[in-house]
Amino acid sequence: MLTFFLSIGLLIVGYLIYSKVVERIFVINDQTTTPAYTNQDGIDYSPMPWWKASLIQLLNIAGLGPIFGAVAGALYGPVAFIWIVLGCIFAGAVHDYFSGMMSLRHNGAQFPSLVGRYLGQAMKMFINVVTIILMVLVAAAFTAGPAQLISSLTPLSYTVALIGIFIYFLIAAVLPINRIIGRIYPIFGAILIFMAVSIAIALVATDQSIPNLTLENLHPGDLPIWPLLMVTISCGAISGFHSTQSPILARTIKKESDGRKVFYGAMIAEGIIALIWAAAGMTFFGGTGGLQEALATGGPGGVVNEISVSLLGTLGGILAILGVIILPITTGDTALRSSRMMVTELFNKYFKVRGLKGIFLTTIPVTIPAFYLATIDYTFLWRYVGGTNQLVATVMLWTGAIYLLQARRFHWICGIPALFMTAVVSTYFLYAPEGLALSYNLSLLIGAIITTIVALWYVVKIKKSKQRFIENENVDHVA
């Protein structure tokens, strides 16, 4: 249990100290008028109090991610705590902060536009496709489950429930952010926090034996920790999906100093939620073997329901139902909203997207494929969400690193986690069944080679940046 409390303490210290380091390196200016005011349109650009934006950001980036992912990652044992803490403080929260604050600095730009500005147009085209695919996969995967649960609890069929959810998606995606998201989602964000804190208190109060740190791989299926743990637990440590959500709130920030609380702070809160559910998963069922059996029987939803009802009684049952139905729906909703914004940026190159009609036209292209995927066997979607998600996270970290490099600031705060995630993603796609399915040792070797090549590219970028700086100084000196 000591490891559990120490991990939570480290996350809090990470916010209190490291978030300020990151903010200082980014260099904020509260005298700068934010896009929430300069572009105020009553739809996407609308000033919002930081506390409300923080709760919405938490709900948008979390949903059931830090619950389901943490429960699955708990199969590896207490080593999952290390990844959640270090990943969250030094990679995930940094990733979220830069994706939000760079968007704010660039007039509320979407993630692919930021990539194009700092990594080139070819990478922008690639990441545009990858990111929109990720949004479609997330929307489909995060709504099929709730539709199934609704159909089991009500007279509605699965198809009717799914249609109802997607009608809500269309409405929520086109309405002004303050109509539904700004009013209701902070309440759901508070429910997510309350649910996790209640589970934590119940674990301690019932004297559950939360295991202490061990580097031993306790996965019953003997799956390797590297790189699978880093993909299994994404939302609680680092998740590329967050870079698609941060621009939504970047368009509502009142002043730049709010960014640390909204972006870095929400990620730390998500890390704490992930820690709690990882602890519950590896404790409640008497070890990782029992957890694997529970996952095989009822899936992550069944595991969450059993833990909640057993530890919290009737309240737990209500929270579990709310969580499994509402939280993923809110994630799917904002996934389509952010993809609508990306499609709008693409369309605006050729013709201006204006009014409600234009908003609908840019929402439909991503809604239709998401609905179709949700009508088929959606379980295979999860195999592709994880790797794609971390690929997007890696690209965002590199975007932040080049941004800082060009600004002559300490770029390593993004560069080091970017290199780490490059190794994770390259090895994962080589080894995973949905990738090339190579042998583990061969995947490690090729992954190391790819990471080395990327590292050399980074070194070249650093040298060129220094050379340009020297040349500019010489020109200024002569002038």
Residue 315, pLDDT score: 80
**Candidate from 3-7, 134-138, 259-263, 402-406 with smallest mean pLDDT:** 134-138
Domain span holding position 279:
2-381
- pLDDT exceeds 80 at position 203: yes
Instruction: Write down the residue that tokens 């830090």 correspond to.
Output: 66
In this structure, is residue 427 part of a structural domain? no
CATH number at residue 347: 1.20.1740.10
286 or 337: which leads in pLDDT: 286
Q: Is residue 72 part of a domain?
A: yes
390: pLDDT strictly greater than 60:
yes
Summarize pLDDT for 137-175 with one digit per residue, the tens.
888 877 877 887 788 778 889 889 889 988 888 787 777
pLDDT tens per residue across span 359-370: 666 777 788 888
Residue at 401 is within a domain: no
* Gyration radius (Cα) of the chain, Å: 22
- Which of 39-43, 239-243, 280-284, 447-451 is the least confident region? 39-43
Note the pLDDT of residue 349.
65
Q: Does residue 444 lie in a domain region?
A: no
Tell me, what's the pLDDT at 439?
97
| pLDDT value at residue 379 | 62
Please report which confidence band the pLDDT of residue 330 belongs to, taking 50, 70 and 90 as the band edges: confident
pLDDT band of residue 378 (cuts 50, 70, 90) is: low
- Cβ neighbours of residue 405 closer than 8 Å, sequence gap 6 or more: 411, 415, 461, 462, 465
> Domains in the chain: how many in total?
1
Predicted TM-score of the model (pTM):
0.91
**pLDDT recorded at residue 446:** 98
Mean pLDDT value of segment 371-379: 76
Q: What does the pLDDT read at residue 22?
A: 98
Does residue 452 lie within any of the structural domains? no
Interval 74-90: pLDDT, tens: 999 999 999 999 999 99
342 confidence band (pLDDT: 50, 70, 90): confident
Is 453 a domain residue? Answer: no
Tell me what pLDDT residue 18 has.
Answer: 98
Per-residue model confidence (pLDDT) at position 348: 67
Give 206 or 360, the one with higher predicted confidence: 206
Domain-embedded: residue 457: no
pLDDT above 90 coverage of the chain, percent: 52
pLDDT over 80 at 130, yes or no: yes
Comparing 5 with 181, the larger pLDDT belongs to: 5
Residue 79 in any domain: the answer is yes
Residue with tokens 């604050």: 101
Per-residue confidence (pLDDT) for residue 466, from 0 to 100: 87
Q: What angle do CA 187, 283, 199 make, to 5 degrees?
A: 20
- As a whole number, the mean pLDDT across the chain is 88
pLDDT band with cut points at 50, 70 and 90 for residue 304: confident
